[in-house]
Structure formats: structure tokens, C-alpha cells
Amino acid sequence: MQLVVMGVSGCGKSTVAALIASRTGCALAEGDDFHAASSIARMATGCPLDDTTRAPWLAAIAAWLTERAAGGECAVVSCSALTRAYRDVLRGAGPDVRMVHLAGPYELVAQRLAARRGHFMPPQLLTSQYAVLEPLGPDEPGITLNLDAPPDNLADEILRTFGLRPHCAG
Ligand SMILES: Nc1ncnc2c1ncn2[C@@H]1O[C@H](COP(=O)(O)OP(=O)(O)O)[C@@H](O)[C@H]1O
Ligand SMILES: [Mg+2]
């Protein structure tokens, strides 16, 4: 199974994806790492990406997922995957791609972003992220969780939902 931890900037994708990977031993990728330098520069100046500038980024993440799926590997990637069309691209990677949407109110996420340090994404882009966000449709395989829960609880719930087993060190 390949999991995409999705949602607006600051919802906790990277935190939760890393936790799932460390608990399960699944391969981990950080969606931000697939952006072109020009896209990161654009976002850092407060300008959102659009469908055109997101296309190569999504394709690169889908390619990573395709490799994991082809090898039958367990994998988890953080990726905002804000729209159904973007998620369709990611689901094209294989039959076992599942979405985990960390959802919650703007005010809470804005507080988190205001406190976060060392990330290129400026808090003012959050408004556009919510404007573009399409929650999971009932026909989209995956789950929606409240981003307000502690990361450990979110990871517990995700492992339970998808029947992922914690791996044993050593
Ligand atoms: N469940 C959570 N509860 C409280 N704070 C969180 C939670 N998840 C993440 N954070 C904090 O919120 C900020 C944004 O989390 P991050 O994982 O970077 O989000 P994203 O990858 O979605 O942009 C970070 O400072 C992180 O430590
Ligand atoms: Mg992140």
C-alpha cells in the first residue's frame, strides 16, 4: 500500500508521514522535495502555484509512487494533493494508493504556521490553499482525520485503519 498524507500547508503532513514511516518501516518521501527550485522561490515570495506549475511536481511524486507500487513496497509521501484532479494523478501510480486527509479549521492551521520555523511556505499562502482544497469525495479511497489530534494518535489511527503493522527494530 502507498499512502499520501494530504491537506493544506501546516496541517501536519510531514510530521505524520514521517511518524508512519518510522513506525512501519515503509519508504518515506517528502512531497516538498519534488518541487523545482523555481516553484519554491515562487511560493517563498507569497505567490501560490497553479495547475501548470504543479503539474511537473505531481508527476514526479506519481513517478516515485509508481516505483514503490511496482515493487510492491509499502510507502508514504506527504503531498498537499489539494484537488481531486491532483489526486487522480497520484492514484494513477497504482491500485493501492490511499489518501489520508488531515483536515481542520483555518484558524488552527494559521496558528501552527505562524509558529513554524525554517520552511519556505509563508503563512499568507494558507488562504489560497483553503480556496483550492477539495475534501475527499465519498468515492475516493482513504480517510479524513481531524488534524487537531496529537501526531501519535493520528499515526495510531492510520495504522489501524489500513491494517499496517509496526515493524520491529533490529
Ligand atoms: N498533530 C499536530 N498537533 C500539533 N502540532 C502539529 C501537529 N502536526 C504538526 N504539528 C506542527 O505544526 C507545524 C506544521 O506541521 P508540518 O508537519 O510541517 O505540516 P505540513 O507538512 O502539512 O506543512 C509544525 O511546526 C509541526 O511541528
Ligand atoms: Mg510538509
Residues with CB under 5 Å of ion ligand 2 are 13-14
- pLDDT, one tens digit per residue, over 120-151 is 888 889 999 999 999 999 999 999 999 999 99
Domain membership of residue 39 (yes or no) is yes
Rounded to 5°, the CA angle 14-56-121 comes to: 40
Residue 72, in any domain of the structure: yes
Instruction: Tell me, yes or no, whether 53 lies in a domain.
Output: yes
Pocket test of ligand 1: the residue of 112, 113, 126, 157 to mutate, having most ligand atoms within 8 Å of its CB, is 112
Which ligand approaches the C-alpha of residue 32 most closely?
2
Per residue in 60-118, pLDDT (tens digit) is 999 999 999 999 999 999 999 999 999 999 999 999 999 999 999 999 999 999 998 88
Res 131: pLDDT: 97
CA distance 123 to 26: 30
Q: Kindly give the distance from the C-alpha atom of residue 150 to the centroid of ligand 1, in angstroms, as a whole number.
A: 10
* Residue 93: inside a domain: yes
Residue with cell 484537488: 83
For residue 49, give its domain range: 2-162
Give, using CA atoms, the residue closest to atom 12 of ligand 1: 112
CATH number at residue 34: 3.40.50.300
Kindly report the protein residue whose alpha carbon is nearest to atom 14 of ligand 1.
10
Within-domain flag for 167 = no
Q: Considering all CA atoms of the chain, what is the largest pairwise distance in Å, rounded to the nearest integer?
A: 45
- Enumerate long-range contacts of 37-44, CB under 8 Å, 24 or more apart: 40/120, 43/120, 43/121, 43/122, 43/125, 44/120, 44/121, 44/122
Query: Is 21 within the bounds of a domain?
Result: yes
Per DSSP, the three-state class of 150 is coil
